[in-house]
Amino acid sequence: MIHKIFPVAHITFIDCLRNKALYGILFMGIVLFGINIIFTGMFSWDLSKVAVDMGLSTVSFAGLILIFFFSIQMMSNDMDKKTIYLILSRPVSKSEYIVGKFIGLSLVILISSLVLGVCAAFSVWLSTMTINLQLAEAFSWKLFSLSITLQTLSLLILLSLAFLWVMVSSHSFTAFLLTLMTYFVGQNMENVKNIILSTKLMSPDSISIKAINFASWILPNLSVFNIKTIIAHGLPFDASSMAAPVVYGISYIGICLCLSILVFKKREI
Amino acid sequence: MVIFKKNALFLVFSLFLSLFIFSNGMIKEKRKILGASYSIDIPSTPPNVIKLLAGEFSGIIADYLLLQIGSYIGSNSEISQDQWKIIHLGFEQAFELDPYFQQTYFQAQAFLAWDANMPESAIRILEAAGRKRTWDWRPGYYAGFDYYYFLNDFNTASDIYLKTAKIKNAPVLLALLGSRFAIKDKRTEASIAVLKLMLKDNDLNKNDKKEISDRITILKSIEVLDKAIQQFKKIFLVYPSTLDELVYYQILKQLPENPYSKKYTYNPDTGEIKFD
Amino acid sequence: MAAILFQNIYKTFRSGFKSYPVLHDISFEVKKGEIYGFLGPNGAGKSTSIKLLLNFIQPGSGRIYIDNLLVGRDGFQHLIGYLPETPCFYENLTGIETLVFAGKTSGMGKKEIIPAAKKVLHRLNLDHAGDKLIKAYSKGMKQRLGIAMALIHDPRIFILDEPMSGLDPMGRKLISDVILELKQRGKTVFFSSHILSDIEKLCDRIGILNKGKLLYTGPTKDILEFGPDVETAFVRLIEKDEGSHDT
């Protein structure tokens, strides 16, 4: 099985890497880092936090663009342009196709996060040199890297969901909208629930709370992977507490891919 | 083998599902204990930048920020100074996004001045709000209060009160207080007067009204205790070693009402009674 | 034993609440080592039949066998080489990379793939294009690369959907020669086409489809019962079928 998955992953990866749009996204990321340095220099307040936060946010932003405008398009093109015939007419099963494609696209996202992560670190370091920025006392490069790793995991979760939406819907635009909505709900779900519960607007037994609880089991809780604020402000943080979220992320990806395979098997191409 | 192959997808799915349920359960437990402490989501962008980024959505983002701040403070009893700094940034951002929003300066006054012990930060927002809401006497009123009550700066308080008194429909008392603060006076009495005025504000909600009346009660109680302590000193030539001695020695019939669960801070060496 | 066997195939497509029958009781066989031509007007159901053959879609009822393996239950892709109607590739890959992918997934060893790829590219006059990105290929080059992908792992059975489309006369001659070579080597070729002269030249047996029904299956020369040449016979058969629909 592995020896079928790898060629699919390989051609997906190479095809993406040679795509000019990818370079546009990376270039945009690098430009944003340059702007980061200029911006932080313009203001005299909480510079370190601005630089770190903006650096990490740029990595996230580029990853999101890769998913919404790149990955979904590529998957849909496979279906629409029937490139998929050339793969499935060979002894490659639908499962191997899905897993191979996912690995290929994941590698692209990993590389993008790595490249932009290094640029982010560099722009923060450069800010400390050029504008005499003082990093928060509890700041550490280890935690900075951990934040990027967690962000990347969150992107991979979104990618696996994008796969499912592409399989379920017939148009790339529908898949795009569904992925976008899932992203927003995933990021804000916990927040909204806490706000509603703490302002005591609704009783814990109300239907809305039950619905939110239900949604929090089905949709991914992406805010768990967002530790940008903690890193930027140098707040106390226990890295071992990230073990459960990592298992959560990986298992969620696994579930989405299994469901994608299931839907794909039923789908006529 | 064939059966295994057919059911491989089902087995893999079950494995991932089990891991997911287990890990999600752990995460929910952890985050329940921590309450809303992880959910304060204020980006550390400078307020002017956030204004740029918000574009046409600045209003709702301001609303969302204030809602978050309110619920975060409401659900956390222990907030560190660092976290207060983040909250302060949130207020500044909310103000930048919608400088006319009353909620912003109300909450800034309530939380920053009283709970966070950051009256200067509250004052900054109030003064800025006052500049925008030129028709509104309340920002100046609160700012003046903060200057005199927290910062002991009677002169600035007086200036602000007198200036604010000129706004149409401002209560006459502002002018009176402005002139009184020009002369240094006993803090507790004047504070009670200002707070009583605040209580008359119809725009306050139930929670705020209770806060203010509790404050009035505690200030009155401190006044009573202060007088009693001075009386004790006169009689016994030393300060009481505990507040209960005031009752024991019948200076007071009972200790005055304390609507808070926290106790007074009393220093028997100096006879100073404090309540934070 | 048949290389390809269709047994009572029915297929209906559904769109919303409406259903559209596309294939009606299709049964035919392709014998081992022969070249079988599949023809019919546009919309007859040729592409649908080929999609069913490749398990891209599933029949409503009936069975399809490839070399005695049941399509849909057994794996058969290692036995076949397929050319789609308009082959679409990953444009940012080179010809060689695409062929290497084809070889790897068909179970070829690392050492044999590159020589086989080069051999096949040479056979199809694509030596100069092997290292170029596919986005620089012309339509004809893409068509030939598609055939190269079908050839590289040297399968027993070839399923080609309109192999001559998009090719100039030189290209068509090249493909005809390749198909004849395959037959000489004992391979089975099943292809659909509109170009009746090619069918007449290459095919041992043919099947004629119209509106989802198989009008004729049998030796190419036997169709001349219906007309002096294949084209006339074909047209008459179709017209007769259309006429019987009208009455």
Residue A99, chain C, CB below 8 Å: the answer is no
pLDDT score of B213:
82
Give a yes or no: residue B164 inside a domain: no
What ipTM did this prediction achieve?
0.89
Inter-chain touch A82–C88, beta carbons under 8 Å: yes
* Touch between C and B (at least 3 CB pairs under 8 Å): no
Task: Find the domain containing B123 and state its range.
Answer: 39-133
Instruction: Please tell me the total number of residues recorded for chain C in this structure.
Output: 247
Phi, psi of C157 (to 5 degrees): -125, 135
B25 shares a domain with B43: no
Same domain, B15 and B61: no
In a domain, B150, yes or no: no
Q: What is the pLDDT of residue B184?
A: 42
Of C159, C165, C171, C190, the closest CA to residue C82 belongs to C159
Boundary (domain end) residue, out of B133, B160, B192: B133
From the list B65, B113, B70, the residue with the least C-alpha distance to B92 is: B65
Do B15 and B94 reside in the same domain of the chain? no
Q: How many domains does chain B fold into?
A: 3
* Structure token digits, residue C90: 């990953």
The distance of A26 to chain B (nearest Cα, Å) reads 21
B26 and B44 in a common domain: no
Whether A contacts C, i.e. 3 or more CB pairs less than 8 A apart, is yes
Asked whether the predicted pLDDT for residue B185 surpasses 70, the reply is: no
B30–chain A nearest CA distance, Å: 9
- Is the model's pLDDT at C154 over the cut of 90? yes
3-state secondary structure B111-139: HHHHHCCCHHHHHHHHHHHHHHCCCCCHH
In a domain, B266, yes or no: yes
Q: How far is CA C41 from CA C135, C193, C209, C215, C238, in A?
A: 31, 10, 8, 12, 8
User: Closest partner residue to B27 among A95, A248, A254, by Cβ?
Assistant: A248
Total number of domains in chain A: 1
Prediction pTM value:
0.75
C-beta atoms of B75 and A53 within 8 A: no
Q: CATH homologous superfamily for C2-89+158-246?
A: P-loop containing nucleotide triphosphate hydrolases (3.40.50.300)
Nearest to A15 among C78, C90, C102 (CB): C90
Point out the least confidently predicted range of A35-39, A67-71, B91-95, C84-88: A35-39
Contact of A14 with chain C, judged by CB distance below 8 Å, is answered with yes
| Domain boundary, last residue among B86, B116, B133 | B133
Residues of C in contact with A101 (CB under 8 A): none
For range C169-195, the mean pLDDT: 92
pLDDT at B38 over 60: no
pLDDT (0 to 100) of residue C92: 94
Amino acid at C219: P
Residue C226 is predicted with a pLDDT of: 85
User: What is the rounded end-to-end Cα distance, in angstroms, of chain A?
Assistant: 22
Are residues B27 and B43 both part of a single domain?
no
d(CA A142, CA C105): 41
pLDDT tens figures, A18-42: 988 888 888 888 887 777 777 666 5
3-state helix vs strand vs coil in chain A, percent to 5: 80, 0, 20
What tens digit of pLDDT does each residue of C230-243 get?
Answer: 888 888 888 888 88
Domain range for residue A143?
Answer: 2-266
The pLDDT tens digits for A144-187 are 888 889 999 999 999 999 999 999 987 889 999 999 999 988 88
Contact C56 A268 (CB under 8 A): yes
| Residue from B27, B81, B103 whose CB has the most chain A CBs within 10 Å, to mutate | B27
Cβ contacts (< 8 Å) between A92 and chain C: which residues? 77, 105
Choice among A231-235, B263-267, C160-164 with the minimum mean pLDDT: A231-235
Tell the residue number behind the tokens 């016979």, with chain if given: C233
- Measure in Å the smallest separation between the Cα of B70 and chain A Cα atoms: 8
Position B217 in a domain: no
Chains contacting B (3 or more CB pairs within 8 Å): A
Q: Which residue has the higher pLDDT, B100 or A252?
A: A252
